[in-house]
Amino acid sequence: MARFGIVVFPGTWSDRDSYNAVHDQLGQDARYIWHKEHDLQGVDCVILPGGFSYGDHLRCGAVAALSPVMAEVVEFAARGGLVIGICNGFQVLCEAHLLPGALMRNRTMEFRCQPATLRVENPDTAFTRGTGRGTLLRVPVSHGEGNYFADAETLRGLEGSGRVVFRYVDATGDATAESNPNGSLNNIAGILNQSGNVLGMMPHPERASEHLLGSADGLVIFRSIVDSAARVLAG
């Protein structure tokens, strides 16, 4: 059993959905960590969930990145702890410089809540070990600012080192312009940090956690984390 710490900033709302996925669906230990806390309670994995932390004012994730708990998350990540940032959590990770680049307004300037298909570009990560290269996952997006941007050199670095983990594709697996919901460079939906223990993704795997809700494809990501945590313990 893995222990997940779900960070709650003012304005976070997918904390409860993340709990629903990892605790109710996968039976893992999960606890909420209020942003003012300094104790990560010995968790194996930190989830920075979706939402509108601080109302998304100024820049999405900018104010949350300065919260007390983020100092602990930075340290946790430096020690190799697993961190997954979903949607607003991805934005927080970029603002906290745990991941490169930035998430800009969607190309259409509109919020988009819709199904998306993700292609797994790298199955050899702590977050995707339960998948294979090219596996397609049905995971919805729900954001207004998910348009991934990085300068050319950063982008080359990400692409060249297998750190682009998920890409938006169409139903047949092609990364087309129409399948890109927000205008992200190279259809990027999720990226990894250099040491491979911090993942940021705009789509919501915690929403794709039950067939009743339309898809359970997101669970493989949390299962992979559980598996990775067990391997760390096994040494």
Partner 1 sequence: MARFHADVHIELKPLVNDPAGLVIRDALRHIGFEGVAGVRAGKYLSLELQAHDRVDAEARVAEMCRKLLANPVIEDFRFEVRETAPAESIPA
Partner 2 sequence: MTAAVDPALLREVALTEPEYDQLVELMGREPTHVELGIFGAMWSEHCGYKTSKPLLKLFDSQGPRVLQGPGENAGAIDIGDGWAVVFKIESHNHPSAIEPHAGAATGVGGILRDIFTMGAFPIATLDSLRFGPLSEPRNRFLFGGVVGGIGDYGNCFGVPTVGGEIYFEDCYTENPLVNAMAVGLIRIEKLTSSRAEGPGNLVMLVGADTGRDGIHGATFASVELDAASESRRPAVQVGNPFLEKLLMEACLELIDQELVVAMQDLGAAGLTSSAVECAHKGEVGIELDVAHVSRREQGMSAYEIMLSESQERMLIVVEPGKKPGVDRIFTKYDLHADVIGRITESGRLTIREGGSIEADIPVTLLVDAVPFRHPVARAPEDRLELANRVVSPPDLPLDESFLRLLGSPNIGSRRGVFRTFDHQVQNNTVVPPGGDAALLRVKGTRRGIAVCTDGNGRYCYLDPRAGAAIAVAEAARNIVATGATPAAVTDCLNFGNPEKPEVFWELKESVVGMAQACRELELPVVSGNVSLYNDTSGVSIYPSPVVGMVGVIEEIDRRLTAAFKQEGDVILLVGETFDDLGGSEFMKVCAGVVSGRPPRLDLEIERRSHDAVLRAAAAGVLQSCHDLSDGGLAVAVAESCLLGGLGARCDAIDLTAGAAVALFSESQSRFLVSARGTEAEAFEAICADLGVPVRRIGRTGGGAIGLGRDVETSLENARVAFEGALA
Active-site residue set: 87, 204, 206
Cα-flanking dihedrals φ and ψ of residue 6, to 5°? -100, 110
The nearer residue to partner 2, 114 or 195, going by C-beta atoms, is 114
Looking at 65-73, 106-114, 122-130, 171-179, which segment touches partner 2 (CB under 8 A)? 106-114
209 near partner 2, judged by CB under 8 A: yes
Interface map 42-81 toward partner 2 (x if CB under 8 A): --------xxx-xxxx------------------------
147 near partner 2, judged by CB under 8 A: no
Least Cβ distance, residue 163 to partner 2 (angstroms): 28
Interface residue with partner 2, options 3, 13, 157, 216 (CB under 8 A): 13
At residue 149, the 3 state secondary structure works out as strand
Q: Is 3 exposed, middle or buried (0-12, 13-18, 19+ CB in 10 A)?
A: middle
190 near partner 2, judged by CB under 8 A: no
Answer for the pair 210, 25: CB distance below 8 angstroms, yes or no.
Answer: yes
Q: Is 77 left (phi over 0), alpha (psi -120 to 50) or beta?
A: alpha
Q: How far apart are CA 202 and CA 227, in angstroms?
A: 22
Question: What is the token pair recorded at 90?
Answer: 């991805």
The nearer residue to partner 2, 59 or 112, going by C-beta atoms, is 112
